[in-house]
Chains A and B, each alone.
Chain A
Amino acid sequence: MILPPSDAASMNPDDPKLTAYALDELEEPDRTEVEERLRNDPAAAAEVAALREFSAQLRAELHKENMPGLTEDQRAELYAAAKEVASGLNGNPVSAAGPAPAEPELLRPSLRPWRLWFPAAIAASLALFAVIHPLLETEKRQVALGMKESAPAPASAPDPAIEKPAEEKSLAEEPAVRGEPAPGRARALRKSLVKADGAVSVDVRSFKNQAESNAPAPAPLMLAPAEKDRKEVDLLTTDLALEDRTALRRSAPVPPLAVTQYWSTQPSTIPKPALAAPVQTMQAAGHGGQNEAAAGGFVGKQAKPTTTASTLSGGRGDSSGTAVQSKAMVEREELREGKQMTTRKGGEAPVQAQKMAVAVERKAKPSEPESKVEKREKAPSGAAGYAPAGAVASAASSTRAMPVPMPAPAAPMAAAPVPAALALVPDPAASMATAPVASVPAGPTAADADTDTVLPGLKPAAEGLATGVAGQSGLALDGIKPPSDRERNWSVGRKDALQDLDKTKEHFFRWAMVPADKPSPAENPFTDVQSAASVEFTVNPNTAGYNLVRASLQAGQSPVRDGIRIEEMLNHFSYSTPPVQTHLPIAVALESASCPWAPDHRLVRIGLRGRAVSAEGRGSNVVLLSDLSEETRRNAAGGDVLGRSAGTKAADKLGESLGIADTNDAFLFGIVKEPAEVAQVAADQPAVDDSSKIEASYKVARDNYKASGNNRVVLVTDGGIVKRGLYNRFVETAAENEKAGIPLTVVCVGQASEDERLRGLAWAGGGNYAYFESDGEARKALSDRRNETLVTAAEAVRATVTFNPSVVQSYRLLGYENDADAKSGTDQYSAFGRNGTIGAGQEVTALFELVPRQPLLATTELGKRSLRSTNALGGGIVEESVERKKDEPPKLGTVAAAATKPASAPASAPAAVLFNFRLDCATPDGPAATFESSLADSDKDWKEASEDFRWSAAVASFGLILRDSTYKGDATWDLTLQIAKEAKGQDANGERQEFLDLVQKAKTLGQ
């Protein structure tokens, strides 16, 4: 190396040349030059000597560093790959780039016997991991799950570095080469493999990675020579049976499908038997299907969709014979549709879907009498859309002979979560029509519309309407007490419905451990009501989104798109939903008005508020596990809070590794009010390393467990645990303990680089996830909202919204988009952060933007716009029905509540039900409960709406602009500011003003 000439006089000891010389890296002529100078400069010579010695030591020490190797499976795959390449695949144009190496010549003889099928098999396998591994994080989800039996892999986004295309193509020729008819490549290969007799010396066990390209089949078959009997191997079975962690990791586990059957209608409240109709039957495959499936599968905690859903609805409805009803409805559905969902492998559905189908079926079997017909509800991205679920659902549906035209299928995959599934129901409108009518309940006095932010609605609407909160008297959750008027909206089921939730978690956390790269989540598009009148999602109680946005804006940067989670921004604020008075878990407020950024659209706000339960009364057992690096603590706004807890041993432990906080720390942190509430941590915890500290903290929590108290481990971290490789371990531990009744709350402070994974961790641990820019912020927020953090009001809160097709043309759930993996339709991480746990007093808001159906659609601007938005789904399914509202029979009676508003859209028609809303949740110490209500539209302009509504609209519009959403309509900074200013209200804690400042700042930054 030639360095610039140094001072000729003497050697500056700080000269890099010296170092280079000491390391023998200098070449002539520098070398001789330096040597000469060294002769004259003893100081420099000494320096060189010291350097040499130091570097020798350094080298020695570094060489001692741990050197893990590859796993056996990985090595096996490599050998297989090498062999495959080496063999040159005699005659098969499969070799990778470059000239065929000479080795094949040598290898050929030995391979001769297997010549025919071996190369193909290897090629297939190679394709598998060639596709998988290079893509790895990038495409992990899609790849892993994809097992397309059809044409050779469209290998999504092939890593350019690896010459897959050539590979794929050549592989594609395989069947042809061997003269096999190739209905599907995989099938062909499979057949060929089956014919082969003779073992493959490659350990195919590792080829469980299912590439979405081809030959998924060969792998398992190759594995077991014993399996070579002709009958078709159920690939999926084989796959699933192999519980290899690597495989699972790569091939994405098979989360159960969500199968929500029908409304569990309460005879006493809102009987909507026909409402089941609009619930989507996941049909036909198609990309759209995939995405939906994801949605269907979701529900973070709702676990195994299939089983759970049914069970849940069964459970919940039980008390009123809903199960029976459901079954009846199912049968009715079957008749109507004439379709049976079977979980057999199917045609074009991606293999993943098949896997799911199998999994679903399997799981469904034990507990699902009605599993024959699997209905999957699509949940909008909000739900835990996990990819597999999505895939499955679509797969499953696709496997059914589903000729039903899928408007959705054309929908781009990126359209993601919002289900585009078809409803086979022949006459959704009719059902909807009848439903509302039917739902005029006997009974419940409309007068219940007392509280209320909500619009006046129909009786039933009024009943549960705006504040379907509960009745005057406490609901006896044991179901003995007859429900009051309010309570009518609630139905209570068996607690064991929750058990199925655990199983979903198992699946989740297994792949929570995988750092997956997912493409940027797509927003929910407008979903046409004809195709999917109902949408289901798990509420997202997190508030991190807002903090992330705030952090970046305050730092003068534009927020990264992924961090802009509108639903979380909405959650950050307090609203004025009237609190629940009784034991019912959640208060619900529904409201609709015009949409500020799209005047022709309606905006629906669903506000939830957890029951306020004081933490004090229940006793607290909180262990604070702190993982804040020096850096973060130094930067903490509040100063070195934790470090200042002088005299506590914990402070010393809270260095760069996990530390179990002393009571004082938790107290200082604001997690708890009294030091005594924090579990005492033995000073001499035998925790030498980080992972045992995790265990230790849970042990402390368990040791101090307070029945019916708040038991929790709170992790405060800045992502360090992820970086240090503790993530997987933590997820497992958290999930286990969550089952044992000690949930984990994750608070991310400072750096948000591990935001996704920490959300996942919180999900696995059954708690919520919050992000704060600094621990000072965290302290402030947590102490203000400690109840929300510590105490759970309801778990597994899942909302299902069914829109009225005759009133609503299409709808869109704002936010909740981080669940969709644009390509594969699933994203396991979406589940994370969405376990739907609502804390005590916590407020969660969901917004829907609706395109109302109006007469003369084709000729009005609105109509045209609606057409456009529907067509955007790729289907253009909706034909303009010019039915005029007023021709329709009045749906839900007349508005009985006070403050009547004029009828909805169509000129003089009476108010029609806009949607039915249902909330399923589990109470922490009680049985599962369901809330149902509906909302009728009004003609209200947003300016007349409640403050909560307007504020939500302002926040949402801010989010839309930040995201540069395609749906932002006319939203502008100024509009946002205008709405916000007027809706600011009391703003007791200044958070709304802060928002205004933030918008101002964003506007200035020119975002």
Chain B
Amino acid sequence: MPPPADVPDLCALLERYERPLVRYALSIVGDLESARDVVQETFIRFTRERRPELDENPRHLEAWLFTVCRNRALDHHRKHARIIPMPLADERVAEDPTPAASLESRDTAASLLRLLETLTPNQREVIRLKFQNDLSYKEIAEITQLSVTNVGFLLHTGLKKLRSLLQQSPGDEWAAVAAPRET
């Protein structure tokens, strides 16, 4: 149904953030349906908690949306790992194919996404937030509840790792960028 005229701000918001949020949630929860639900909850919460400061500052709003989305997604995700707490993802670097893998497109991005999977969850999340959603260190810190320094460090090491991996098994266009320049 066409967006109703009397909720323009929500429409705009949806327009802008719906898809990125779903993508982000998907990277945390793993399946699309849940991700959608999470995002929907996020927006519902938004509609019900119209705080002035959110309305004023779009950046704040964005960070708020991501934060809420992340929290909901993590809650949801936690609830589904109830059986044996086998040593899981966080400790291991090379994990099983994580949700992102299912999103792979058939082009070269696929290889990159696969490489992303080799990062730790924190690195991965921070990289997504930074490069996929163009958030700043501060915003990322706010969303993930990490310190800004921590965020910087994660990005740094994550990027470093990606570059080294790409060097090892590069797609053509990546090899060049991945390799450190030699002066």
A residues sitting closer than 8 Å to B (CB atoms) are 1, 3-4, 13-20, 23, 25, 42-43, 46-47, 49-51, 53-55, 57-59, 61-72, 74-79, 81-83, 85-86, 96-98, 101, 103, 106-107, 110, 129-130, 133-134, 136-138, 161-163, 201, 203, 249, 513-515, 517, 520, 548, 551-552, 555, 557, 559-560, 562-563, 629-632, 656-657, 718-720, 722-728, 750-753, 755-756
Contact = CB atoms under 8 A, between A and B. Distances in A.
Contacts of A3: 149, 152
A42 B102 CA distance: 41
A631 B84 contact: no
B122 interface: no
B99 to A, nearest CB: 6
Given A57-B177, A107-B6, A133-B41, A66 B132 contact: no
Contact of B30 (A513, A548, A725): A725
Nearest to B154: A16
Given A513-B33, A657-B97, 18 more contacts: A46-B181, A54-B162, A61-B108, A68-B35, A79-B1, A79-B3, A82-B47, A85-B48, A96-B49, A137-B37, A137-B76, A515-B34, A563-B84, A720-B97, A723-B102, A724-B101, A750-B86, A752-B86
Contacts of B85: 557, 560
A177 to B, nearest CB: 20
Given A107-B6, A725-B99, A97 B48 contact: yes
Contacts of B156: 14-16, 18-20
Contact of B97 (A563, A629, A756): A629
B172 interface: no
A426 B151 CA distance: 71
A77 B41 CA distance: 10
B177 A78 contact: no
Interface string B148-183: 110011011101101100000000011001111111
Interface in B70-97: 71-72, 76, 79-88, 92, 94-97
A23 B130 contact: yes
B45 A161 contact: yes
B6 A110 contact: yes
Name B's interface SS. Answer: helix
B155 A23 contact: yes
B181 to A, nearest CB: 4
B112 interface: yes
A4 to B, nearest CB: 8
Interface in B1-30: 1, 3-4, 6-7, 10-11, 14, 18-20, 22-23, 26, 30
B146 interface: no
Given A1-B149, A101-B50, A86 B7 contact: yes
B61 interface: no
Given A53-B177, A69-B19, A752 B48 contact: no
A107 B5 CA distance: 10
A728 B31 CA distance: 10
A83 B10 CA distance: 9
A46 B97 contact: no
A751 B41 contact: no
Majority-rule SS of A interface residues: helix
Contact of A98 (B48, B83, B95, B107): B48
A360 to B, nearest CB: 28
Given A16-B156, A83-B6, A724 B49 contact: no
28 contacts: A4-B149, A16-B156, A25-B136, A42-B183, A54-B159, A57-B174, A58-B112, A58-B131, A64-B107, A67-B22, A69-B22, A72-B1, A77-B40, A79-B3, A106-B6, A130-B48, A133-B44, A249-B33, A515-B34, A517-B79, A555-B87, A631-B94, A632-B96, A657-B97, A723-B31, A725-B31, A727-B31, A728-B33
Nearest to A50: B181
B39 interface: yes
Contacts of A47: 180-181
Contacts of A718: 96
A323 B67 CA distance: 62
A836 to B, nearest CB: 22
Interface of B: 1, 3-4, 6-7, 10-11, 14, 18-20, 22-23, 26, 30-41, 43-45, 47-51, 68, 71-72, 76, 79-88, 92, 94-99, 101-103, 105, 107-109, 112-113, 127-128, 130-132, 134, 136-138, 148-149, 152-153, 155-157, 159-160, 162-163, 173-174, 177-183
A631 B103 contact: no
A161 to B, nearest CB: 6
**Top-7 shortest CB links A-B:** A96-B48, A16-B156, A67-B19, A46-B181, A629-B96, A19-B156, A82-B7
Given A656-B97, A725-B30, A753 B49 contact: no
B130 to A, nearest CB: 7
Contacts of B105: 64-66
Contact of A548 (B83, B134, B177): B83
Given A23-B155, A68-B22, A77-B40, A136 B86 contact: no
Nearest to B137: A25
A1 B47 CA distance: 32
Contacts of B98: 723
A719 B96 contact: yes
A750 B87 CA distance: 10
Residue among A49, A51, A559, A562 with max Cβ neighbours from chain B (10 Å): A51
Contacts of A67: 19-20, 22-23
A164 to B, nearest CB: 10
Contacts of A559: 84
A348 to B, nearest CB: 29
B84 to A, nearest CB: 4
B17 to A, nearest CB: 10
Contacts of A16: 152-153, 155-157
A349 B155 CA distance: 55
Interface centre among B44, B76, B87, B163 (most CB of A within 10 A): B44
Contacts of A96: 47-49
Contact of A68 (B11, B26, B34, B159): B26
B49 A97 contact: yes
A656 B114 CA distance: 10
B95 A515 contact: no
A20 B148 CA distance: 11
Contacts of A750: 86
Contacts of A136: 34, 37-38, 41, 76
A70 B22 contact: yes
A517 B29 CA distance: 13
B145 to A, nearest CB: 15
A190 to B, nearest CB: 23
A753 B101 contact: no
Nearest to B68: A161
A62 B128 contact: yes
B177 A54 contact: yes
Contacts of B130: 23
Contacts of B181: 46-47, 49-50
A514 B33 contact: yes
A27 to B, nearest CB: 10
Candidate in B76, B86, B137, B162 with the most chain A CB atoms within 10 angstroms: B86
Given A1-B137, A134-B44, A136-B41, A723 B84 contact: no
Nearest to B6: A107
A723 B100 CA distance: 9
Contacts of B50: 85, 98, 101
